Structure 1
Amino acid sequence: MKTSDVCVIFFLLISISADQWNYGNLGPDIWSEYYPLCSGKSQSPINILTACTVYKDFQPFNFILTLDEKHYFTLKNNGHTIISTINNQHKQSSIELTGSNLNGTFEFVNFHLHWGEHYKSGSEHQINGVKYAGEIHFVYQNRQTSQLAVLGIFMQSHLHKKKFVFDKNDVTRNEWQKYFDKAQTLTSENDSISCGLNVTSLMGENLKDFWRYEGSLTTPPCTEGIIWTVFKQPIDFMEEQIKNLRDNVYFEDYRGPQPLYNRTVYRNFIHETSSSIPDYNLCLLDSENKKTMDMFSIFGVINCSILGPDVWYAKYPTCAGQSQSPINILTACTIYKTFTPFIFGSRYNEQHSFTLKNNRYTIVSTFNSEPNLSALKLTGGGLQGIWEFVGLHLHWGENHKSGSEHQVNGFKYAGEIHFIYMNPNTRQTAVLGIFMQSSFVDNGTPSSTAYFIDEDVRKEWRRFFDIAQTLKTEGSTAIMRLNLVLLMGKNLRDFWRYEGSLTTPPCTQGVIWTMFKEPIIFVESEFQVLRQNIYFKNNRGPQSLYTRKIYRNFFRETLSSIPDYNCCPSRD
């Protein structure tokens, strides 16, 4: 098979029309609706849990000598990233790879980069939950079997030149600078340019230690059966190099980790360390011998993009605390506990005056005291004392399958409502969270699942959205009357309880969280109104649980169909 044939085959795999998928409204969380393989059980990327990897002896990689030659590449903006393929207009030798337990000879197909919205987010794979600023993929294919193998290298970003000194004679750094100088000019889809590069220099010198597993393409159609090699040591870059891609090409272009299911991740180095975060030391059980495999030694002031959740801790250290919210609620790990019923004040089921305000990050709705009603009060639910309602706000995401801050066994809802309460005596905060489930609209009529919406609840939220969508600029406000009982819906029986934090800076801990099990169903167009008129997304992802416990007030709970989510920390 000719190099050109290989390139064409793979190019078809990863270069599907840009209007069929993207990293925004048609992003990774909904790819499976159009590309069923994207919900398979051998998907990439993954979060590599170092404590759960298995040592295996691998032969050394054998890079054919021509790898160390200068080759001419065509760099092209394919609508999703910059893809670099061999330029066949130049007569040049092929780039081949053997060894490392790969069967046969693998020929170079392309390399491309994935990056994120800031220097702490962008890599597709994670190591014990740690994200790098980006990830480089060198793609190879077996000429005989068409088997694909990908070599992944993390991109480490450095913000300040003074804190990290680069060697001016560093051939890897200099070679990548050639790439960035060209790539950042490809600002529109189908833009292309030729560039002479040395692949050996691009890959760097730290190719000794790696992890190996079987996965998939990380873009649609998410074809499985891909041999993944992820190298342990990253390549160092200056933040300004990656920022040029964000500013000039695409803001972000990465997929988050997928469930491991029953796959094994191997490593080629003997000594490995466990994570300092207990959550990441929980390993799947070997289905044959039932033992663990290879175990061993009040609202934000920073937005959710460039200065987003992954870097909040730099200015607000509490955001890196060990009792942070939100979390991924693992149902198999929750503990049954009896709670007294919630008791809402007698005047909850009335309309009261609220001020809605665009605070730059969401729409915050606060209660306006009235002559004969200074506060809406709450007791019970295992809360000590009397609690006064402070306000409510919403979190949402870029599409109908991403937006909730909490997750349940990795499942994300379209959004999440937070009802904030405070104990006036202790000043402690309690939050009642309700998931927002999206239901598509067909010709203006709610889909079948939306018919289960209580009509009074639906009308009250429709009134809210009608006003909220007009608050398009920071600081804009509106006053309206709302009924809290209707806004909360009528499924407040079953819930989970844990101690966490505010989900925005300063991430104050000691917050009592109640997450109700049943969502409220909304029509998708209502979320679109928020995305288009207010903010595209405003949600923080799950934080590590550490040693905290999650309680539930209902007796029967079910396991997840995904084995990854049934691993629980010790309750000793």
Structure 2
Amino acid sequence: MSAQSCWGYGDDNGPLNWHKKFPFAQGNRQSPINIVGAEAVYNPDLGPVTISYSGCSSMSICNNGHSVVVDFEDCNDKTAVSGGPLDHPYQLKQFHFHWGRKQQQGSEHTVDSKNYPGELHLVHWNSTKYQSFGEAAAEEDGLAVVAVFLETGDRHAGLHRLTDALYMVKFKETQAQFKKFDPQCLLPDCRDYWTYAGSLTTPPLHESVTWIVFREPISVSEKQMDKFRMLLFSDENQSEKIRMVDNYRPPQPLCGRMVSASFQS
């Protein structure tokens, strides 16, 4: 079985082709997309994005069968993204990654059809307006996801502590404590970004996300990427061990949406 069939984007008739089972998959606000730099519209009213992750003390790391996820269990409103296209702060819930089996693929968003080896998603919810993450995830203005591209190059010092912990969650449905990690260290120095209205890229594909995609990637080493590729789609009791690679959704049609840029090309 190929990794893409495992993930659900292989054979259209395959039993794991989950995206066909969700009505939102055929919507006009699906993610990811291919960002065409020359067609993005510079918006001088887009201010800088402010990110603060100082309010979390308890977190866990898990393999959920789609990705590796770091979940923040007791965040408060000090841990938030604000500014830019957002009307008020959105609280951090979790972050996770997408990656490929090789350097030429792995990111969900592409830029001028360029694929990156990986992509980080920091998922935030509108805790000002909604009572829970689950409620917010189904609403048009419920979520804000900050996306950061991973480019292979120098070793990333901040990411190293996370990649060193991946052995603890090698198998599907495994979880471990992962404390005192500030994801601020995973953000690029340059905060130029694109933004557009989109969706979750995993089930149930709710069209509830304001995407903030940073233009500048962060550099990670090939050894660090290889540690992601050692994770498994399989649980510990399965005889067939399927490596977790190519866990990305392909770009979806733009359907007339505008992509705005905080910077001039």
Q: 1:174 to 1:70 in 2, by over 3 A?
A: farther
CA contact 1:140–1:148 (8 Å) conserved in 2: yes
1:254 aligned to 2:242?
A: no
Residue identity opposite 1:134 in structure 2: G
Q: Counterpart of 1:248 in 2: which secondary structure?
A: coil
CA contact 1:71–1:92 (8 Å) conserved in 2: no
1:82 aligned to 2:68?
A: yes
> 1:141: Cα distance to partner?
0.6
Alignment-derived partner of residue 235 in structure 1: 218
Instruction: Give aligned-pair identity as a percent.
Output: 30
1:44 aligned to 2:40?
A: no
Query: 1:254 and 1:269 mapped to 2: Cα distance?
Result: 27
Query: 1:241 and 1:78 mapped to 2: Cα distance?
Result: 20
1:40-78 deviation line (CA, Å, top 9, x unaligned)? 1111000111111111021222234xx247744200111
| 1:136-535 equivalent positions in 2, closer than 5 A | 136-143=120-127, 144-145=129-130, 146=136, 147-158=142-153, 173-195=156-178, 196-206=180-190, 208-249=191-232, 250-270=244-264, 272=265
CA contact 2:54–2:78 (8 Å) conserved in 1: no
1:94-123 deviation line (CA, Å, top 9, x unaligned)? 512221130222110100000011111000
1:318-351 deviation line (CA, Å, top 9, x unaligned)? xxxxxxxxxxxxxxxxxxxxxxxxxxxxxxxxxx
CA contact 1:209–1:232 (8 Å) conserved in 2: yes
Q: 1:203 to 1:73 in 2, by over 3 A?
A: farther
Q: Counterpart of 1:211 in 2: which secondary structure?
A: strand
> 1:247: Cα distance to partner?
2.2
Larger Rg: 1
Equivalent of 1:63 in 51, 56, 69: 51
Q: Counterpart of 2:181 in 1: which secondary structure?
A: strand
1:129-169 deviation line (CA, Å, top 9, x unaligned)? 100000000000111143101000000013xxxxx5x5xxx
TM-score by length of 2: 0.81
Q: 1:39 to 1:31 in 2, by over 3 A?
A: farther
1:518-570 deviation line (CA, Å, top 9, x unaligned)? xxxxxxxxxxxxxxxxxxxxxxxxxxxxxxxxxxxxxxxxxxxxxxxxxxxxx
CA contact 1:94–1:108 (8 Å) conserved in 2: no
For structure 1, the residue ranges without an aligned partner over 5 or more in a row are 1-21, 159-163, 167-172, 273-572
Higher relative contact order (CA 8 A, sep 6+): 2
For structure 2, the residue ranges without an aligned partner over 5 or more in a row are 131-135, 137-141, 233-243
Equivalent of 1:96 in 71, 80, 86: 80
Q: 1:225 to 1:86 in 2, by over 3 A?
A: closer
1:132 aligned to 2:88?
A: no
> 1:225: Cα distance to partner?
2.9
Query: 1:232 and 1:59 mapped to 2: Cα distance?
Result: 15
Query: 2:5 and 2:78 mapped to 1: Cα distance?
Result: 36
Query: 2:189 and 2:54 mapped to 1: Cα distance?
Result: 12
CA contact 1:41–1:260 (8 Å) conserved in 2: yes
Query: 2:251 and 2:182 mapped to 1: Cα distance?
Result: 30
Q: 1:142 to 1:258 in 2, by over 3 A?
A: same
CA contact 2:40–2:261 (8 Å) conserved in 1: yes
Query: 2:152 and 2:209 mapped to 1: Cα distance?
Result: 27
Residue identity opposite 1:197 in structure 2: F
Residue identity opposite 2:24 in structure 1: L
1:24 aligned to 2:12?
A: no
CA contact 1:114–1:253 (8 Å) conserved in 2: yes
CA contact 1:43–1:216 (8 Å) conserved in 2: yes
CA contact 1:72–1:87 (8 Å) conserved in 2: yes
Residue identity opposite 1:43 in structure 2: Q
Aligned pair count reads: 233
Q: 1:248 to 1:226 in 2, by over 3 A?
A: closer
CA contact 2:8–2:19 (8 Å) conserved in 1: no
